[in-house]
Amino acid sequence: MARPGRPAMPKPELCPAVDAFLDMLTTERGAALNTRQAYWRDLADVSLYLRNQLNTDIDKATTDNIQAYLKDLSEKTHVKGQNKGKIAVRTVARRLSALRQFYRFMVSEGSRSDDPTSTIESPKQGRTLPKTLSEQEVDQLIKTAGTAGTPESVRLVCLLEMLYATGLRVSELVGLPMSAIGEGSQFIIVTGKAGRERMVPLSDAAREAVENYMNVRKRFIGSEGSANQEQFVFPSRTSDSGHLTRQRFAQLLKDLARAAEVDEDRVSPHILRHAFATHLLSRGADLRSVQKMLGHADIATTQIYTHIVDENLKKTVEEKHPLAKKSAS
């Protein structure tokens, strides 16, 4: 399925080496379905270019072939404007990273004797801080979500409170099984990337939201009450998976942002995850604890949020400190 606003990519028959690589990601590294699909999209894009433009396939590509692809990608994705330019650089870097892992796999399997990406340098990326929301904006979203008082409203409040209290990835949240909710809704047990389990506590507000939602949860289960729907905290009658989809939740958040008069470009499930981490750190939470709750394997990934806190503190000092005001005048 194509992402909203993105045309569907043709589904080429990829070479067997790519299929073997994707299978390895799932079976040996425990990669989630979303991760596998992301690698497929990247490698499929390279494969299409190599076949259509250079009359070769990805498993036989040379260093010159890969450099030609990356140059073409840079030229096509670069759009004037600082933010768009950064997106283009990240796209090139991600594709190159996928190719590196693919060719290393081929070398380890003895399918190739060389890695054509070994001499290609990654594009330099400036540090881009994740988007986030203020505490006041999160409060406004939750208050607005609860105004209607309908089952849909109660569910949306629960989704928001749980996401903001736990920092779950959106796929973890919408696919949460009923068995994940601990006794008395004090905590939830989450199975994250590579099958790693973590226990995350729920706030008082989140526990109350869960209790309120459980009173209306049956409204989201079909009349036949299929076992596929029953097993999820957030079931869906219309989704093939049996639970609320990531796309539907993201759409609900965009609608909510407009109603709450919060910039919808700054509201998404992942940005609420950023807000969770940023607000905890700004209130003095331990970085290791935040790392565990977010499910990051490497603490360096979590440290990006400390830069947001530092930027916010710097901005506060510049705007509020009397000496800063004097020096500016």
* CATH number of 135-318, picked from 1.10.443.10, 3.10.350.10, 3.90.245.10, 3.40.50.720: 1.10.443.10
User: How much is the pLDDT for 316?
Assistant: 43
Q: Which of 169, 207, 217, 279 is catalytic?
A: 169
> In this structure, which long-range contacts are made by residues 209-216, counting pairs with CB atoms below 8 Å and at least 24 apart in sequence?
209/154, 209/157, 209/158, 209/160, 209/161, 209/162, 210/158, 210/161, 210/162, 210/181, 210/185, 211/185, 212/154, 212/157, 212/158, 213/154, 213/155, 213/157, 213/158, 215/154, 216/151, 216/154, 216/155
pLDDT at 75 over 90: no
| Separation between Cα atoms, residue 176 and residue 58, nearest integer Å | 37
| Separation between Cα atoms, residue 288 and residue 164, nearest integer Å | 18
pLDDT band with cut points at 50, 70 and 90 for residue 2 = very low
Q: Which of 78, 90, 100, 193 is catalytic?
A: 193
Catalytic residue list contains 273? yes
Sequence ranges of the domains in the chain: 16-108, 135-318
pLDDT band with cut points at 50, 70 and 90 for residue 327 = very low
Of all residues in the chain, what percent carry a pLDDT higher than 70? 82
* Tokens linked to 276: 């969770």
User: How would you label 258-291 residue by residue, b for 16+ Cβ within 10 Å and e otherwise?
Assistant: eebebeeeebbbebbbbbbbbbbbbeeeeeeebb
Q: Which of 36, 198, 270, 292 is catalytic?
A: 270
pLDDT at 63 over 90: yes
> Which amino acid would we find at residue 179?
S
Catalytic residue list contains 41? no
User: How much is the pLDDT for 5?
Assistant: 46
Q: Which of 95, 217, 246, 273 is catalytic?
A: 273
> Which amino acid would we find at residue 102?
F
User: How much is the pLDDT for 108?
Assistant: 94
Per-residue pLDDT tens over the stretch 242-301: 999 999 999 999 999 999 999 998 899 989 988 888 888 888 877 888 788 888 777 777
Per-residue pLDDT tens over the stretch 146-196: 999 999 999 999 999 999 998 898 999 999 999 998 777 788 888 877 778
Catalytic residue list contains 296? yes
User: How much is the pLDDT for 213?
Assistant: 96
The DSSP code sequence of 176-211 is -BGGGB-GGGSEEEEE-GGG-EEEEE--HHHHHHHH
Instruction: Please give the mean pLDDT across all residues of the chain.
Output: 83
Catalytic residue list contains 39? no
User: How much is the pLDDT for 323?
Assistant: 46
Per-residue pLDDT tens over the stretch 294-323: 887 777 777 766 665 555 544 443 444 444
User: How much is the pLDDT for 129?
Assistant: 59
